[in-house]
């Protein structure tokens, strides 16, 4: 008997001893009959988390070539690098978009129509990359101006988790706006895993946005953040309650997260819940628990909250 056959026979013996046939059959019953949870009941190709990580790396390199791409680029080679990187990255992204479209509310068409739709979305997304980079540069400048410990733009790009989170968010938000919510959520979760910062891709965030330190920051789906806003670690912009319909199911998509107007600073550990408005130019102190709107120019501290 060959060595291969011996291994196969041993594997069959081990499987029998472990009762794997019954386990496999039980999992099939759960998967296909008792607890079937497939989207609309069918097996569909899922987007790949690993492929999206490569897409994010490629898009970051295309926007900031020497920081996230190659450090040896010069004026003669940089455009070639960007073009080549975009070509390969967008090809992968288009396939991931096609897979993501299988999980939208609309019934998927035939495979050719789906690929064409994915190509059009990829093209529109690519056309928006210069504008995304422009906003990101404002975020980078906000970080440099807002942190006395920052010594250079390069330090911010290479070392600040808040910048990584906002780069990924602005890419995810663009994809969300173009009708690929599952892909956008996957990108948001990749950012969350890498930085500890959790931003829903639907959240609207203005330019010159800075998250300092960042760990534990949570920004909900319907949050709206204006220009020149600064958040510190462990800030939550969350929902106060979750309304349900007559059947007890949560109502989805309602506006339930805060509006933060321009030029607001929110310090570490602050929790702001519900569809409240933080007026322009306000400062929210550390560890404040806030469930009401405050007018422009307010300064809210924990001591004030405790005395109310």
Largest interatomic CA distance in the chain:
84
Q: What is the mean pLDDT of residues 295-306?
A: 86
**pLDDT tens profile 50-96:** 999 999 999 999 999 999 999 999 999 999 999 999 999 999 999 99
**Please, what is the Cα angle at 134 between 129 and 136, to 5 degrees?**
90
Helices (H), 178-276: 181-195
Compute and round to an integer the Cα radius of gyration of the chain. 24
| pLDDT of amino acid 307 | 56
Reported as a single tens digit per residue, the pLDDT across 116-142 is 999 999 999 999 999 999 999 999 999
More confident residue, 15 or 266: 266
Question: What pLDDT is attached to residue 251?
Answer: 80
Our separate counts of H helices and E strands in the chain read: 11, 14
Using the predicted structure, report yes or no on whether residue 202 has a pLDDT greater than 80: yes
Percent of residues in the chain assigned helix, strand, coil, to nearest 5: 50, 10, 40
pLDDT at residue 9, as a whole number: 76
pLDDT of residue 203: 98
Which of the four pLDDT bands, split at 50, 70 and 90, describes residue 8? confident
pLDDT digits (tens, 9 = 90+) for 203-252: 999 999 999 999 999 999 999 999 999 999 999 999 998 888 888 888 88
294 three-state secondary structure: strand
User: What's the confidence (pLDDT) of residue 18?
Assistant: 82
Compute the distance between CA of residue 24 and CA of residue 27 in angstroms, rounded to an integer. Answer: 5
Tens of pLDDT, residue by residue over 211-221, are: 999 999 999 99
């Amino acid at each position: 008997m060959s060595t291969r056959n011996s291994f196969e026979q041993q594997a069959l013996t081990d499987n029998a001893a472990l009762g794997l046939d019954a386990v496999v059959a039980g999992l099939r019953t759960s998967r296909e009959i008792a607890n079937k949870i497939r989207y609309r009941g069918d097996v569909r190709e899922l987007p790949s988390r690993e492929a999206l990580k490569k897409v994010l790396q490629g898009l970051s390199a295309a926007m900031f070539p020497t920081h996230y791409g190659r450090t040896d680029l010069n004026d003669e080679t940089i455009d070639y690098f960007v073009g080549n990187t975009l070509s390969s990255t967008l090809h992968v992204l288009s396939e991931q978009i096609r897979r993501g479209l299988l999980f939208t509310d609309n019934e998927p068409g035939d495979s050719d129509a789906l690929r064409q739709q994915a190509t059009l979305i990829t093209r529109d997304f690519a056309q928006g990359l210069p504008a995304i980079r422009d906003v990101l540069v404002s975020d980078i400048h906000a970080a440099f101006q807002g942190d006395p410990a920052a010594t250079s733009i390069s330090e911010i790009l290479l070392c600040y988790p808040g910048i990584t989170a906002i780069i990924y968010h602005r890419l995810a938000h663009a994809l969300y706006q173009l009708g690929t919510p599952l892909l956008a959520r996957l990108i948001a979760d990749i950012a969350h895993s890498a930085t500890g910062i959790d931003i829903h891709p639907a959240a609207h965030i203005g330019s010159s946005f800075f998250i300092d330190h960042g760990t534990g920051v949570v920004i909900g789906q319907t949050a709206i953040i204006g220009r020149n806003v600064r958040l510190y670690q462990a800030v939550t912009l969350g929902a106060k309650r979750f309304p349900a319909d007559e059947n007890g199911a949560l109502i989805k998509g309602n506006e339930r997260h805060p509006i933060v107007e321009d030029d607001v600073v929110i310090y570490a550990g602050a929790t702001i819940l519900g569809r409240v408005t933080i007026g322009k130019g306000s400062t929210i102190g550390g560890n404040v628990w806030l469930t009401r709107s405050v007018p422009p120019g307010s300064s809210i501290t924990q001591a004030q909250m405790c005395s109310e």
